[in-house]
Amino acid sequence: MAAQFLDEFARELEKIGERAFRRRHSVPVLIVSGRTAPVRMPRPAAMVETARERPDGVRALISRVFPLIKLAGGGGPIVVGRALATGIDVAIPDPSISKRHCQFAPHSSGAAVIDCASTNGTAVNGVAVRDTSGVRLCGGEILTLGRLEVTFETAAGFAELVSGLSSK
């Protein structure tokens, strides 16, 4: 399933109703909310940003929703990376995301996130994910993947969020 924007989900909810929406969207999601400050030292003012570092690409990702769905058959964790490739289930096209950045292991009330030794790291609510057992998520947590800030929502939390948007 391709990533869509929040407003597209709100229109879908209004069109098909809440019960059908909850059946259709039954997996946790990541919602891009912004970009963090660069981790590396600031560059001299004379240096110009490359096209890959310009904020236009990030603006195109804001409010984008990435469903955490396993692409390949079978179980196991859902792997997030920069581009779809062998072993990557969810692609977030940002240069600060590693080819194989992190993985989500679903559990009954959410998921656990585990960093895959990514270059720019993974954090949950500002705390770096270092333990190989991962950090348990229950919904509403702010994750930092590379330089992107994303919100993790369970399927139920996502339906509530979208319901709040569509009633406005």
- In a domain, residue 99? The reply is yes
Contact 62, 33 (CB under 8 A): yes
- In a domain, residue 8? The reply is yes
Of the pLDDT bands very low, low, confident and very high (cuts 50, 70, 90), residue 55 is: low
- In a domain, residue 44? The reply is no
Of the pLDDT bands very low, low, confident and very high (cuts 50, 70, 90), residue 13 is: very high
Tell me the residue range of the domain where 92 lies. Answer: 4-38+49-166
- In a domain, residue 43? The reply is no
- pTM of the predicted protein model: 0.85
State residue 35's pLDDT score. 84
Of the pLDDT bands very low, low, confident and very high (cuts 50, 70, 90), residue 51 is: very low
- In a domain, residue 134? The reply is yes
Spatial separation of the C-alpha atoms in residues 88 and 72, rounded to whole Å = 9
CA 85 to each of CA 20, 61, 110: distance values in angstroms, whole numbers, following the listed order: 32, 20, 25
How high is the mean pLDDT of the chain? 85
pLDDT of 3 over the 70 cut:
no
Query: Quick one: three-class SS letters along the chain?
Result: CCCEEHHHHHHHHHHHCHHHHHHHCCCCEEEEEEECCCCCCCCCCCCCCCHHHCCHHHHHHCCEEEECCCCCCCCCCEEEECCCCCCCCEECCCCCCCCCCEEEEEECCEEEEEECCCCCCEEECCEECCCCCCEEECCCCEEEECCEEEEEECHHHHHHHHHHHHCC
* Total number of domains in the chain: 1
Selected residue with higher pLDDT from 124 and 165:
124
User: CATH number for the domain including 72?
Assistant: 2.60.200.20
State residue 107's pLDDT score. 86
Token pair in block for residue 60: 């195109």
- First vs last C-alpha separation in the chain: 26
**Range in 13-27, 64-78, 135-149 the model is least confident about:** 64-78
Selected residue with higher pLDDT from 66 and 50:
66
